[in-house]
């Protein structure tokens, strides 16, 4: 965990004297986890949000997974071979059973691929698997996936592919399966009280590492202060989505503490070069020079996050080691604004949504104001925000705050949607950049691919389509006797947790 500045910690101690009493810890037979919201769905192909993922990832096994070091390792597939630039053959384990006792077969793997890639099914994860052209069962407990083009990021995407039982899904129907999901993972679905909690029980017949806890409950606790109070009192063992201020409260309490990890999420300020004034590179450069990343991270984020100068994080394949972004230089920003003249005096709209930390947005506004720009924050609900930033560039805001994650830990999942002209997220239309992004997407040689991504980051720096800000941290709160360390992929694998001796 990163150190909390001394003055900030002192303030936290003064504010949290009521939180220092020893906690009466929850029943050791039960792990209690406080989420922000209840899951939207427990069908792993129907939803992709943290509160759903935290739960269903323990019910289902995935084709591949990541170990605690972030490396892609076997799960349902024991091994794989790239037999051509567009074909991969996976060997499927023959000792996995679903929770009803039926065997997991290669046909279930093929069915899961076909289900999530069917446009009519409408999975929100479709784009992550859209390069898969076909899936077929081969002799010898094998499955072959064929892609429409070489796609080295596929392995990172397949880490997210949960395997569902074809016979059960088709027999129950989509809606019923969501109400009572059946997987093959280390925990079984036990019940769901809507708006309150989801209950899981340990799968004692699990083929892999079984869990320590006989049961686990995931509760919906929207108020962050309540989550902290639950943890301190011993009513819960693990809580999600802490901000730095709450983390400091936990650090000042007895028997609990914050747990953090740097994730693959990259925060950035998007700059719309299609708008009047901002079509002048000098004004975009001035915006970039006005931003003090270090101040944001240390002053507002408690030092948990990490400043980055490229539109990626070190957690991504494609991170360019040693790359320098645009430097903080407010004097240079003022000089460039003076060169631009009148176009730099107009009001610049800055779109944001309540889901983002508004302290960051306000700090960015202040930094831009201090160098002479007129920036107005436009706060809207998330649906309106998404509609605006994904609209036609000429109609979109001048600037917007964003945090991006593909959950694949691969550069393609970040820079392609944010920069390629075909993407609704992109405010860029540049044929040369498109060609580099496409070349990187299909390049199987790691060094050549990294070279392409260096060119991409140089383009972002030189053209200021975005101003990269920081690698976002994820902060949890946990009982001191819970053995667990968070990882960049933001997973809560219950069978990788235990009580300390």
Written as one string, the DSSP assignment of 63-102 is: SEEE-TTS-EEESSEEEEEEEETTEEEEEEPSS-B-TTSP
pLDDT above 90 for 273: yes
Q: What is d(CA 228, CA 311) in angstroms, rounded to the nearest whole number?
A: 33
H helices within 138-188, ranges in order?
A: 154-158, 166-172, 174-179
For residue 35, give the H/E element and its range: strand 30-35
**Strand, helix or coil at 349?**
strand
Average pLDDT for 184-198: 96
Average pLDDT for 273-280: 96
Query: 263 has which bridge partners?
Result: none
Burial class (CB in 10 A: 0-12, 13-18, 19+), 380: middle
Higher pLDDT, 236 or 21: 236
pLDDT confidence bin for 2, thresholds 50/70/90:
very low
pLDDT confidence bin for 27, thresholds 50/70/90:
low
Angle at 395 between CA 391 and CA 401, to 5 degrees: 65
The set of residues, in sequence order, having a beta carbon less than 8 Å from that of 270 and lying 6+ positions away, is 389, 399, 400, 401, 402, 418, 427, 465, 466
pLDDT at 343: 87
The set of residues, in sequence order, having a beta carbon less than 8 Å from that of 462 and lying 6+ positions away, is none
pLDDT at 400: 97
pLDDT confidence bin for 25, thresholds 50/70/90:
very low
Q: Among all chains, which residue has been given the structure tokens 């899981």?
A: 200
Q: Do 308 and 266 contact (CB within 8 A), yes or no?
A: yes
Model confidence, pTM: 0.86
Higher pLDDT, 249 or 21: 249
pLDDT confidence bin for 12, thresholds 50/70/90:
very low
pLDDT above 90 for 145: yes
């Amino acid at each position: 965990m990163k150190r909390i500045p001394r003055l900030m910690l002192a303030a936290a101690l003064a504010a949290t004297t009521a939180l220092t009493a020893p906690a009466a810890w929850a029943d050791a037979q039960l792990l209690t986890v406080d989420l922000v919201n209840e899951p939207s769905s427990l069908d792993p192909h129907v939803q992709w949000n943290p509160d759903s993922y935290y739960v269903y990832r323990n019910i289902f096994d995935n084709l591949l997974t990541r170990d605690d070091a972030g490396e892609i390792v076997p799960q349902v597939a024991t091994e794989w071979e790239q037999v051509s630039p567009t074909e991969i053959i996976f060997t499927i384990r023959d000792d996995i059973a679903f929770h009803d006792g039926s065997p997991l077969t290669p046909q279930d793997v093929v069915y899961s691929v076909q289900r999530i890639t069917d446009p009519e099914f409408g999975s929100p994860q479709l784009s992550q698997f859209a390069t898969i052209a076909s899936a077929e069962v081969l002799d010898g407990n094998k499955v072959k996936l064929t892609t429409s083009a070489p796609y080295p990021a596929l392995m990172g995407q397949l880490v997210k592919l949960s395997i569902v039982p074809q016979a059960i899904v088709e027999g129950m129907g989509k809606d019923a399966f969501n109400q009572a999901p059946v997987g093959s993972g280390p925990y079984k679905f036990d019940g769901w009280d809507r708006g309150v909690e989801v209950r899981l029980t340990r799968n004692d017949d699990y083929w892999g590492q079984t869990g320590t806890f006989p049961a686990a409950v995931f509760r919906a606790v929207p108020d962050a202060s309540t989550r902290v109070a639950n943890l301190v009192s011993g009513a819960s063992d693990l809580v999600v989505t802490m901000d730095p201020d709450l983390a400091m409260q936990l650090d000042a309490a007895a028997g609990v503490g914050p747990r953090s990890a740097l994730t693959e999420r990259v925060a950035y300020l998007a700059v719309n070069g299609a708008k009047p004034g901002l079509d002048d590179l000098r004004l975009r450069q001035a915006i970039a020079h006005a931003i003090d990343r270090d101040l944001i991270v240390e002053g507002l984020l408690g030092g948990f996050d990490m400043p980055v100068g490229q539109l990626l994080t070190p957690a991504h394949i494609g991170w360019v080691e040693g790359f320098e972004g645009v430097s903080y230089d407010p004097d240079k920003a003022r000089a460039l604004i003076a060169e631009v003249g009148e176009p730099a005096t107009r009001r610049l709209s800055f779109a944001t949504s309540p889901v983002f930390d508004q302290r960051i947005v306000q700090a960015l506004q202040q930094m831009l104001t201090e160098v002479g720009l007129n920036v107005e924050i436009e706060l809207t609900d998330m649906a309106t925000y998404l509609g605006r930033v994904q609209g036609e560039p000429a109609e979109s805001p001048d600037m917007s705050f964003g945090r991006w994650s593909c959950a694949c830990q691969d550069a393609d999942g970040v820079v392609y949607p944010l920069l390629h002209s075909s993407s609704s997220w992109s405010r860029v239309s540049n044929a040369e950049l498109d060609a580099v992004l496409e070349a990187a997407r299909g390049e199987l040689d790691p060094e050549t691919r990294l070279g392409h991504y260096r060119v991409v980051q140089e383009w972002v720096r030189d053209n200021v389509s975005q101003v990269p800000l920081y690698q976002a941290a994820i902060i949890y709160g946990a009982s001191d006797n819970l053995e667990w360390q968070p990882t960049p992929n933001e997973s809560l694998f219950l069978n990788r947790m235990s009580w300390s001796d």
